[in-house]
Structures are given as C-alpha cells and as structure tokens.
Amino acid sequence: ERLIGIRKHNCNPMTMKVTYYKKPVFINQGYMQWLWDVDGRRYLDFFAGVVTVSVGHCHPKVTEAAENQLRRLWHTSAIYIYPQMQEYAEKLTTLLPEPLKVVYFVNSGSEANDLAVLMARLHTGNFDILTLRGSYHGGSPQATGLTSNAIYKYPVPSSMGCHNTMCPDVFRGLWGGSQCRDSPVQSIRECSCSPGQCQANDKYIDQLKEMFDTTVPRRIAAFFGEPIQGVGGAIQYPKNYLKETYQLVRERGGICIADEVQTGFGRTGSHFWGFQGHSVIPDMVTMAKGIGNGFPMGALVTTAEIASSFAKGIHYNTFGGNPLACAIASSVLDTIKEDRTQENSANVGTYLMMELAKLRNKYEIIGDVRGKGLQIGVEMVRDKASRDPLPSQDMIQIFEDIKDMGVLIGKGGLYGQTFRIKPPMCITKDDADFFLAVFNQAVLNHMQ
C-alpha cells in the first residue's frame, strides 16, 4: 500500500472489476495461463513461475502422464536405468543437432551449469570460464561465479576462474563503460547486412576481438552464453556476435555452452532452441525450467567426445532424471508438439512485440521493446533522450499496479529497469490484448 498508494483510476480496460490487493499474493491453484490466490482472485500469469511453466499450469495431458507414473514408479536412484529415462533421452536428443547426443540428468539449471563447468575443465584441461555481463546462470556457489549481476554474488572464492566479460547492450550502448548511441537499436540486432558490411554491427565485433586480445586468458575452458539473456532483461546481442564469440573461444581451446534454461523448448518461437537463432552449434547445452513445466528437472546435453573425457569420473545425481521427472518431461515434449506451442509462441509473441512497440512510440518512459517469441523485455526509462533507467520505486509502482489489475509479470535487468513478459506458451491473442490494456493503463496511471 505504501508503494502503490491509493489512486483513482478507472482501470478496467476489459470490464474486469478492479480490486486493490494489499497483501502478498498467496497462490493456491493454477490452470494453463491462469492462477488463483487463496481468496479465489484470478490472475493472468505472464511470468510462468519465472519462465518455467512452458505448456500451461497443470496442463491436463502432462498431469495425466504424471498421475500414471505416480502409480507405477517414483524413484530408483540414478544407478538403475528405467525405460522412462531411456525414452526421454532419445526423444530429447532427436531435437538437438549432431554431435549433441549424450544426456546427463540433473534437477535444476544451477546443477546443469555446475556440471558443465566441471566437464569443460576436465575436457579441455583449462580452467578459465567466460560469461557475459548481465548473465544469470544459477544460484549455487559455482553458478553465481558464472552469473554477472552483482546482487547474486557471494564474497567467497568458489567462483575462481570465472570472468564476466562485457556484453554489448545495444539499447544502453554500454561497452566497457563507454556510451555508444549512434545507431538505431533495431538495425543492429536485426540488420540484414553481410558481415563486414555493416558499420554499426562490425563495431561490436571489432570491440569483441579487441576485448579478447586485451583481457581474455590465452587458454580457456569454456564460454557460457544465454541465447537471449533472461534475468539480464531480454538482452539480445548484435547480429553475428555469438557466432564470432564462439570462434574466438574455440581458438583458445575452450568449448561453447548454450544456457537454454530460459530460451529452450520453443520459447523464442522461431526455433526450438535459442542458439538456433544465432547460426551456431554449441558443444554443450544446459536446460531446466521449461523442460518440466514446473516439475524440478534439468539436463545437460553434450558430444560423445566431451562425455568420454568425463567418463573417468562418476556422474551421480540421486534424483536426476528420475522416472517421474522423465515421464513429465516426455509428456511436455509431446504437448509442445500436439498443442503447437512453439508456433503459438511465435504468433502471439510477434503480436505482443508489435503492439508493445506502438506503446513504446507513444510513451516517453518506455525505452525499448525487445526479445523473440514469448521471451520479451520492456525497458523502462526516465525519458527517451537520457535512457536513464526508470527509478526502482516507479518500476515497483507500475509492477504492483499491473498485479492489482490481475496480471503477473516479471522484472529484471542490471538496474531492475526491465519488465519481463514470459507467459506460459499457451496464451491466446485475447490474453495478449488484456495484458496490453492493463500495461497501457498502468503506464497512464503512473504518469498521472
């Protein structure tokens, strides 16, 4: 109440009754894109439990698969094989290009990335790991070393050897602290020029090479990159940036790891995996969140060659890929196909982006709209000229207002200045319209 105050507004764009919620939301139930709190109030979920509920809360098909498996077998531990694990590994790897064919099961994104660090170091014999500014790779002591955002860092040496290198944020123009704002934002991300023919894009690539020459160790174990940054605020890299980075990493003996924890399973719409939008093939892919539609599950997929370097040790994870997790994850894959979830992500995502871009053109405090499919970021600014982040109390006010109007969204970015729009991929165009009307109203309320 202190943050949002009591404001007079007729915020009913879709004739929904407005209620001011003055206490934390206690969620009690969910179905597809909807959540209900303990008092029976309904919310449209546009954050999917932090980008995790991929096909819909309690999706009937996935729930049925879970119920069937619950009656058959819950757990044996990772020392036994069971058909659910084998079937799922086969299903998952058919979705990945050669030579990514060996699967390791874990329970979360952090565990997948921890394992990736270990495997990369064992395979290459090198120690140093590169990640990008703005990245989030997990909350374990090792994974927080990979994560760049200072608020997630521990003052402990467990993250030794992890270097958070610069990442061009095309909108903010931040590169090594210098401002560079002379090119239209969209043209750099989506420009169709060939490499070497686009001044704006080439500048980023030149800076990347310069950074490698001047700051990156001669031998490295790995590079981690999210195809589109999630927690970082839907940061998209300039075109060819990831491809060039992969080349530079491999020249230094490192392997390239795509963290698909947020971008996998069709979320970006145009591709099943985010890395496919960058014309690269990673040496390792880590995944979690959407894989289990909310059931704890994670995996790492790599090449037989890298797996063989690891075979000398033991990968033991009590719950990793247990029968229940595999049955659920398998049903999630079937559902993505049957419900045409990825296609929906592309269609509704494109519509949302177009409509949000109209709001960006209309309002001074909406600085940038970016992303792909249903992985969208809306960056809020004090004003378009300065591009200074909208102060956090204003962000919270808008965020709470949106919640009060019945929509749950996320927040991210290095300054907490970006709204994250990442709903379950089953949302409809009507849901998108409802969200747009609510968002529009919340921005208007803020300006009053």
Residue 124 or 149 having the CB closest to ligand PMP: 149
Q: Does 288 interact with ligand PMP (rule: CB under 6 A)? A: yes
Select from 124, 262, 302, 322 the one that contacts ligand PMP (CB under 6 A): 262
Would you say 317 and 106 are in contact if contact means Cβ atoms under 8 Å apart?
yes
Q: Does 261 interact with ligand PMP (rule: CB under 6 A)? A: yes
The distance of closest approach from Cβ of residue 336 to ligand PMP in the complex, given in angstroms and rounded to an integer, is 19
Residue 259 or 404 having the CB closest to ligand PMP: 259
Q: Is omega for the bond preceding 99 within 30 degrees of 0, making it cis? A: yes
Spatial CA neighbour of 384 closest among 399, 362, 403: 362
Q: Does 371 interact with ligand PMP (rule: CB under 6 A)? A: no
Burial class (CB in 10 A: 0-12, 13-18, 19+), 2: exposed
DSSP 17: P
Chain residues 387-416 in contact with ligand PMP, contact rule CB under 6 A:
none
Q: Does 114 interact with ligand PMP (rule: CB under 6 A)? A: no
Q: Does 259 interact with ligand PMP (rule: CB under 6 A)? A: yes
Distant-in-sequence, close-in-space partners of 35: CB < 8 Å, separation ≥ 6: 27, 29, 42, 43, 45, 57, 408
The distance of closest approach from Cβ of residue 113 to ligand PMP in the complex, given in angstroms and rounded to an integer, is 6
Q: Does 137 interact with ligand PMP (rule: CB under 6 A)? A: yes
The distance of closest approach from Cβ of residue 154 to ligand PMP in the complex, given in angstroms and rounded to an integer, is 15
| The pair of three-digit structure tokens given for residue 33, joined into one six-digit string | 């894109």
- 31 - beta bridge partners? 34
The distance of closest approach from Cβ of residue 110 to ligand PMP in the complex, given in angstroms and rounded to an integer, is 3
Q: How far apart are CA 396 and CA 394, in angstroms?
A: 5
Binding-site string for ligand PMP from residue 19 to residue 58, where x marks contact by CB under 6 A and - marks none: -------------------------------x--------
Spatial CA neighbour of 144 closest among 110, 177, 170: 110
Distant-in-sequence, close-in-space partners of 442: CB < 8 Å, separation ≥ 6: 11, 398, 401, 402, 405
Residue nearest to ligand PMP (CB): 109
Q: What is the CA radius of gyration of the chain?
A: 22
Q: Is 301 helix (H, G, I), strand (E, B) or coil?
A: strand
Q: Does 110 interact with ligand PMP (rule: CB under 6 A)? A: yes
Residue 231 or 442 having the CB closest to ligand PMP: 231
Host H or E run for residue 421: strand 418-421
Q: Does 321 interact with ligand PMP (rule: CB under 6 A)? A: no
Give the total of residues touching ligand PMP (CB under 6 A): 16
Spatial CA neighbour of 168 closest among 194, 200, 136, 193: 200
Binding-site string for ligand PMP from residue 217 to residue 236, where x marks contact by CB under 6 A and - marks none: ---------x---xx-----
Distance of CA 431 to the CA centre of its chain: 21
The distance of closest approach from Cβ of residue 263 to ligand PMP in the complex, given in angstroms and rounded to an integer, is 8
Q: Does 109 interact with ligand PMP (rule: CB under 6 A)? A: yes
Would you say 340 and 55 are in contact if contact means Cβ atoms under 8 Å apart?
no
The distance of closest approach from Cβ of residue 228 to ligand PMP in the complex, given in angstroms and rounded to an integer, is 9
Would you tell me which residues interact with ligand PMP (CB under 6 A)?
50, 108-110, 113, 136-139, 226, 230-231, 259, 261-262, 288
